[in-house]
Amino acid sequence: MARLPRLGIAGWPHLVVQRVHDGQLLARDDQDRRALLDALREASRQHGLSVHAYCLASDHLHLLATPASDEALSLVMQALGRRYVAAYNRRHARLGGLWAGRYRATVLDPARYLLDAMVFVELHAWRAGQVARAEDDMWSSVRHHLGMKTDPLVSDHALFWGLGNTPFEREAAWRRRLEAGLSMSDTQAMAQAARTGWALMPQEAALKLAGSAGRRLTPKPRGRPRKAAHDEVPASEGK
């Protein structure tokens, strides 16, 4: 089966996952993590990608980001592979690729899903049992949104700004959202969408946006297509 083209639609937020090969680590220590974030920040600025949330997991990178052009996301991920992976290989005296294939991405309806997607990304370390509290994750955007640091990689979405009129109000509102978390069904929907690339939005909206994407945004219906009414044979005629 032919692979779908890489997804990239200007002006729409994308949930992105880039995994590493089995048995490998995304970063071995804090020096690697800083190098990865530096490379991501530089590439995002160069190619026009606004990063709204991120987390560095042990074996994958999660991003929520909006590209300024259809090509921006792909260009950023290519640049990240060239700069970070090359530096990682030099530092650790290794050869070969680090990424387990191409990145996975899905586009989402911001009004319905953007803030939930931010929660999904920023609670990853907590869900995985790596930290006792979300804000203990030093390698995600969560501390930026809680007002504990200023992260130069993060470009806050307008919907985040809409959580309050002051930084204090936004930070308090965000803490409440993190504490509320996501339902199991919403968490699974986010993970599945990121894995499959199918859009997180109503079916009608996805069909309209598919033209801009140049590919399907929803899976094909399962099973054989229904016959047209004029092709169906009444039971009485089939006897």
**184-196 and 115-122 helices, crossing angle to 10°:** 90
| pLDDT score, position 201 | 76
The Cα-based distances of 94 to 10, 86, 98 in angstroms read 36, 10, 10
β-pair partners for 104: 17
Cα pseudo-dihedral 120, 125, 126, 131, rounded to 10: -160
CATH topology of domain 14-198: Alpha-Beta Plaits (3.30.70)
CA 93, distance to chain mean position in Å, is: 30
Number of Cβ within 10 Å of residue 117's Cβ equals: 27
* Residue 122 half-sphere exposure toward CB, CA atoms < 13 A: 28
CB proximity list for 42: less than 8 A, separation 6 or greater: 79, 83
> pTM for this one?
0.85
Listed residue (173, 176, 220) closest to 198, CA to CA: 220
All residue ranges of the chain with pLDDT < 70 are 1-6, 202, 205-207, 209-239
Number of Cβ within 10 Å of residue 96's Cβ equals: 8
| pLDDT score, position 236 | 42
| pLDDT score, position 53 | 99
Residue 155 in contact with residue 179, Cβ under 8 Å? no
Query: From CA 51, how far away is CA 66, in angstroms rounded?
Result: 7
155-213 pLDDT, tens digit per residue, is: 999 999 999 999 999 999 999 999 999 999 999 989 988 888 878 876 776 667 666 66
